[in-house]
Amino acid sequence: MNKNQDTADSLRNLTVDIASLMPTNNGNLFNIYFDNGATTPPMESVVKAIEEYTPWYKYVATNSLKADFLSSLYERGRKTIKRFVGANLENDIAIYTKNSTEAINILSNVIWMRHYKQNPVVITTYMEHLSDYLPWKFRFETILVDVLPDGRLSMQDLEHKLWQYRQRVKLVAVTGASNVTGYVNPIHDIARLAHQYGAEIFVDGAQLVQHRTVCMRTADPAEHIDYLSFSSHKIYAPAFSGVLIGPQKAFDAALPLYFGAGMETFATDYEIKLKKSPARYEGGSNNLLGAIATSCALLTIDQTGMSAIRKQEQDLLAYGISLLSQNPNVIIYGDTGYLEDRIPMISFNVQGKTCKETADYLYDNYGLITKNGLIGSNLYVQKLTEGTPYDGVVRVSMAFFNQRFELDRLAEALMGFQ
């Protein structure tokens, strides 16, 4: 067995419940999971952490040593998160949310409360998931940056629109990596442009932080990322949690989206004082197990090494693109040449077939679990398929535990699909 295979096997053992035997039209086969862009399987370390602390869960709201310890884990998790994404440990905060969608809605409310008197504009892009479009669309005048024919973001159009709406643009909201083509956006270049025109930048990191090293506070302040969010269920952590990270002073200058017990220092019938951030944004019972799962997953990724993860995933992407490119009936979206700026994701269609027909065929006959349709990025997929008979795409989204033989099965299946 070669060194690359040893590494792949080692990475594969980090997660649980990757495959199970299932009936197909070709007999019983182990399913292959290619929908990591939606939800990743949990890591073994995360499952163990949840199992360890679940019996203690009843102590959360009590006056006890175990409750104090659990509270310390909850707070230490914020530091783990901030270190992982290169945030400022003193001036930035990490707010626990239920997912990235909730995080973006919270931030949208914060930005609105700070700037609503100034007729604000938010610039976002055609590349966004609806979770990073609708929260802006329903509160702000929202301007969309176009994408190029290959699906990449048009930096020229971004700068043009920053100039066109200068002084009114308060935020540029952009995905760190597309959930369709896998393109990784040049977030620090975008930050520099946004700051040049007096705007802040928010990065939707839901598809980014599990694949690439992120540093919010770079050496050059002009390239700082002001706000970042991600979802735990996409970084190998169940228990449905998420995170919103940004400067404390910005959050302290606004009110939370939700109100409830625990966010106040005191409340009477004539006066209410809210706690400082992040506590003022976490009213109600806290998702302790979600916080533990999130920090445990990030620590495991950190210990494994993002370089090892990226190398394995880049190998999978290149191998998958190579195999599918040999099939004349497969239409692949995005540049199939230079792949360094893509996470391990391939979206495609088969000539003469709907995306649902293709996805159903792959599952029913070969046990391949994919995603199909507009996959939450309606505007982007419509751009990519414009002028064609296709109303969606089939997406294969890989992770470090996937292996080449699984892509072999995908290629074999598509060769026989006429």
Contact 129, 374 (CB under 8 A): no
Task: Please report the pLDDT score of residue 1 as a whole number.
Answer: 46
Q: Give 205-254 pLDDT, tens digit per residue.
A: 999 999 999 999 999 999 999 999 999 999 999 878 999 999 999 999 99
pLDDT band at 13 (very low <50, low <70, confident <90, very high): confident
Helices (H) and strands (E) in the chain, counts: 13, 17
Rounded mean pLDDT of 119-143? 98
Rounded mean pLDDT of 30-47? 96
| Torsion angle of the four alpha carbons 326, 330, 335, 336, in this order, in degrees rounded to the nearest 10 | -20
**Angle of helix 306-325 relative to helix 288-304, nearest 10 degrees?**
80
pLDDT band at 124 (very low <50, low <70, confident <90, very high): very high
Work out the mean pLDDT of the chain and round it to a whole number. Answer: 94
The domains found in the chain, sorted by start residue, are 3-36+305-415 (3.90.1150.10), 46-303 (3.40.640.10)
Task: Please report the pLDDT score of residue 66 as a whole number.
Answer: 83
Task: Please report the pLDDT score of residue 64 as a whole number.
Answer: 83
Percentage of residues in the chain with pLDDT exceeding 90?
86
Q: Is 213 exposed, middle or buried (0-12, 13-18, 19+ CB in 10 A)?
A: middle
Q: Give 305-331 pLDDT, tens digit per residue.
A: 999 999 999 999 999 999 999 999 999
Q: Give 54-110 pLDDT, tens digit per residue.
A: 887 776 767 888 888 888 899 999 999 999 999 999 999 999 999 999 999 999 999
Task: Please report the pLDDT score of residue 195 as a whole number.
Answer: 98
pLDDT at residue 375 above 50?
Answer: yes
